Structures are given as C-alpha cells and as structure tokens.
Structure 1
Amino acid sequence: MYPEIALASASPRRRELLQQIAVPFRLVQVDVDESRQGEESPTAYVSRLARAKAQAGAAKLQYQLPVLGADTIVVVDQHILGKPVDQADFSRMMQLLSGRCHQVLTAVALLSQHNSQQCLVSTEVCFRVLCAEEITRYWQTGEPCDKAGGYGIQGQGGRFVSRINGSYSAVVGLPLCETDLLLRNWQEQA
C-alpha cells in the first residue's frame, strides 16, 4: 500500500509508529545540527529540522528512496523546552509544565529528488499539578533524559497528562493520520 521509504530518525518511537501503520522503511542515520537559528519561531524551527533531517538522509542515500524526517518540540509561553541537560534543568521544566497546558509541535517532511511535502501538527497537552517528590521520582526512572520537554506521554510521564487536544501520536513523535495522508498524496503524485 505504501511506497518503501527511508526514515531519517534515531527515535525508536517513530520506528514503532511507522510499523503500526505498516509502512515499509529502512533506517538512515543522519547528523543534523539542531541549534536554533537566531529568533527563529518554534514552528519555523521544528519545520526546518524535519526538512534538514530528510535532506541529510536523501543526500546520504543519493536519492534512491523517498526520505521521511521528523522533529518534535515542546513549547510553553513561546519557549522551546528541549531535552533536559541535567536534573535541575528537568525539574525546572516540570515546574513550568505543572498545572498548565503547553503545545507539542511535530513537523514531518517527505523528500525525494523531485518532490517535497511537509506538514506541521500542533497538539495541546495539559498537565495536572505536580509535587516535587513525584518530579524527582520520575527523573530517577531515566525516562525523561532523551525526551523533548522532559517527558514521554507514552511512558510513565503519561500519568501527569490530564488531557490533550489534538494528535496523541504526534506527541509521541509522529502524527499517524497526517503521515498517512502525506504518503498517500506522495503515491498519487508519483
């Protein structure tokens, strides 16, 4: 049903999500500078990173397959929360998210030598109020270390989420509905 693609991502969650909708893919490792450029808006930043990952993968494979790149960021008060650098940074993030809502932005780019498509999905995620003890216990699980915003909704961090408005799979790392539509549109244009 889907064309074979390359996935330019090291995220095991993105692999699992593609497998969930039966997309045939192979992995391509890419190294992309994820530094924010100047006053780049969160939407411009996440979109640029998804595109850059797809471009790096396509170049590495010499455009033999369409390449899917994706990136996910957590935004609160127009500030991007990346992966926590240490426990103090993580605690600061959790205190900022505690008892309020934030945005999770996931951009997806599909690229080949002759075609390029992209989408951006915004999901509102609301946290219940967190206490210092549970923040510390969550850090000790090791789960927050490699997660944007310091939490994984699909793991133990899900217990902090009181509600979401939007795509659950986008918060995990890849919006399935939009990715399906990108791939279907891709096939129609081929």
Structure 2
Amino acid sequence: MMIKLDKKIILASKSPRRKALMEGLGIEFEQRTKETDESFPATLTPEEVAGYLSEKKAKAFTGEMKSSELIIASDTIVVMNGEILGKPKDYLEALQMLQKLSGNMHQVFTAVTIMDDNKIQTFTDMTKVYMKDFSNEEIEYYVSLYHPLDKAGAYGIQEWIGYIAVEKIEGSYFTVMGLPVHLVYDVLKNW
C-alpha cells in the first residue's frame, strides 16, 4: 500500500543514507535541516538519548513549519558496554572507536520523531551487531578511505568495514544504517 498523506514530508537530515532509505519507500519528500545542539542530560539511558536527540531535531522546526508539512527527524547512537559511541571528533577517535568494536557485540539505537502541527510521535528501534576481530591495518584503511566522522560508532554497516567485519545482526539492518524504515512506513500509513 502506498502512503497517501495530505502533507509535504520534510526529512530533517543531511544523511545520504537516510535519504536513500526514504527514497526506497517510494515516498516523496524534501530534505531540510537545522543546526541542532546534540547535547543531552547525563541521566538518560542510551535508548532515551536517541529519542531525546531525535525529538530535539524535530522540535527545532517549531514555529516555522507550515500546517501542510510533516517533519521526520532521526538520531542514531552506538552503545557498547553501556558507553555511547557518538560521531568521532577526528581520525584518532574514529580509530579508537573501531578498536573497541572489533571482536565485540554492540547495540545500535535509532530513534525517529514524526511531527506535524497537531501531534508528535517518537519511537526507537534497537539492533545488536556482532563484529569479528579486525586488524589495526584494516581499521586504518577503512578510516582513511571512508572518513566515517559523520557516523555514530565511526562506521557504516553498508560500507567496506561492514562487509568484512559484521558477522551477524539481531534486528533491522536499516536501523543500523540510520532509519528503521519498516517502522517509519507503519507510522506514516496510520498518521
């Protein structure tokens, strides 16, 4: 069933991955972003952090969105042993994050906030990612070639490191990419 909304959908993200996933749903939308402070209260759980940041990104449009518009904002975080691995600040931090992930399981939380002038709904999906051991040489190759500074946990599952290192996942591959499209579709279908 194609989604028929009487609202213009705005994807509040610069991410080319989220753009490609939305296009894959066959939904017409435009991308529009606002600079948003990504700080959060230290008292939040990892699942709450993703939802908090997703809502913050959507609410940044409050006061300037039209009644004919619907905002979709999203945030992804990587969590290993309770530690949140956000977007690396630099090359060195990217290397360190990937060294931590090597040979270990981590969780990826992606939250989505959908908002129009009448309501707001936030939901979070979690996927477990199991990575095999990979070498420092492989890490350096990946970071220097792909520059994953715009990705939580310093990697994209759809890129080279995902091909060679991800042994299995429990949950949605698309959640790890940055947008649980199966949930977005269901929420929009019933909006």
The TM-score, its normalising length taken from structure 2, stands at 0.92
Is the deviation greater in 55-64 or in 128-137?
55-64
Name the count of aligned residue pairs. 186
Q: Is the 8 A contact 1:123 1:170 kept in 2?
A: yes
Q: Is the 8 A contact 1:123 1:166 kept in 2?
A: yes
* Aligned partner (choices 1, 7, 12) of residue 16 of structure 2: 12
Which runs of 5 or more structure 1 residues have no equivalent in the other structure?
A: none
Aligned to 2:68: 64
Question: Could you say what the CA RMSD is over the residues aligned between the two structures, in angstroms?
Answer: 1.3
After TM superposition, where is structure 1 displaced by more than 6 Å over at least 4 residues in a row? none
Distance in 1 (alpha carbons) for counterparts of 2:64 and 2:80? 35
Secondary structure in 1 matching 2:63: helix
Distance in 2 (alpha carbons) for counterparts of 1:115 and 1:46? 19
Q: CA deviation at 1:140?
A: 1.1
Distance in 1 (alpha carbons) for counterparts of 2:70 and 2:153? 30
- Residue identity in the other structure for 2:53: L
Residues 8-55 of structure 1: per-residue CA shift (max 9 Å, x gap)? 111111111000011111122211110122222211111011111112
* Aligned partner (choices 120, 127, 138) of residue 123 of structure 1: 127
Residues 65-110 of structure 1: per-residue CA shift (max 9 Å, x gap)? 1111101110001111011122221221112111110000000111
* Aligned partner (choices 149, 173, 176) of residue 171 of structure 1: 176
Q: Is the 8 A contact 2:128 2:171 kept in 1?
A: yes
The TM-score, its normalising length taken from structure 1, stands at 0.92
Q: CA deviation at 1:172?
A: 0.5
Secondary structure in 1 matching 2:109: strand
Distance in 2 (alpha carbons) for counterparts of 1:23 and 1:57? 21
State, as a whole percentage, how many aligned pairs show the same letter.
38
1:93 paired with 2:97, answer yes
Structure number having the greater helix percentage: 1
Residues 136-190 of structure 1: per-residue CA shift (max 9 Å, x gap)? 111110332211100000111212111101000111010111011110110xxxx
* Aligned partner (choices 159, 182, 191) of residue 155 of structure 1: 159
The aligned runs of 1:74-113 (5 Å cut-off) are 74-113=78-117
Residues 117-136 of structure 1: per-residue CA shift (max 9 Å, x gap)? 22110000011101111111
Q: Is the 8 A contact 2:40 2:53 kept in 1?
A: no
Q: CA deviation at 1:63?
A: 3.9
